[in-house]
Amino acid sequence: MDAITDVFFDYVPVRTFWRVLLFAHFAVAAALLAATTLQSVAVLMPVRQAAGNFVSRVRAAPAASYVKPITILYVLNFLIGSWVYVKYRTYVRIPMEQLSHWWTVGTFEFKEHVMTMGIALLPAYWYFWRQPLTEQYATTRKWLVVFLAFSVWYAFLIGHVANDFRGVGA
């Protein structure tokens, strides 16, 4: 990991590098948030036919079409997050502890567990959403979508709080 960052540091200032990486983490997270939310809506409140307002059109969107982007974005953001996590541990968490921001530390610790559970479920998520979809596993598919959406929302909100403590623009 250090060898990779050292190559970048020959061309980009250290501070800028980590800020760009953190921003990339945020940007991918925002895309993932949109995809998981839209898929959750399509799965939890499906309608046969789109008519009227924006919400009912979202509800009618084919839920299976989100699977590939969600899988790719989830893995990509997990990798970026794992990389940024090094900086969090040394540069952010230590001052958090010194200033007794224990709730922020605790909720961020929980975030790593939530995301780990999410990444572990991805192969099963991919499998159950393969075509043709079997009616027998509709509940399992729904549960997987809801859990992934929960993990992404939780990670996004808690990550945002940690960023506000010491991150881009903080």
Task: Name which of 143 and 156 has its Cβ closer to other proteins.
Answer: 143
Task: Count the Cβ atoms, other than its own, within 10 Å of residue 145.
Answer: 24
131 binds other proteins (CB under 8 A): yes
Residues 6+ apart with CB under 8 A from 127: none
Among 71, 168, 170, 163, residue whose Cα is nearest residue 108 = 163
Q: 100 or 169, CB closer to other proteins?
A: 100
Q: Which is nearer to other proteins, 97 or 164 (CB)?
A: 97
Distance CA 134, CA 148 (A): 20
Q: What would the x/- binding string for other proteins be over residues 68 to 107, using CB under 8 A?
A: --------------x--xx--xx--xx-----x-xx-xx-
Q: Name the packing angle between helices 138-165 and 102-128 (round to 10°).
A: 150
Q: Which of 8, 17, 147, 153 binds other proteins (CB under 8 A)?
A: 147
Among 51, 53, 54, 169, binds other proteins (CB under 8 A): 51
Copy the structure tokens of residue 104.
């922020």
* 25-50: burial string, b at 16+ Cβ within 10 Å, e else: bbebbeebbebbebbbbbbeeeeeee
Pick from 126, 153, 156, 165 the residue near other proteins by CB under 8 A.
126
* Residue with smaller CB distance to other proteins, 30 or 106: 106
Pair 146, 45: CB distance under 8 Å: no
Nearest to 160 by CA among 13, 168, 1: 168
Residue of 109, 157, 160, 164 that binds other proteins (CB under 8 A):
109
The reply to whether 53 sits near other proteins by the rule CB under 8 A is: no
Cβ of residue 120: shortest distance to other proteins, in angstroms? 4
Choose between 90 and 170: whose C-beta lies nearer to other proteins.
Answer: 90
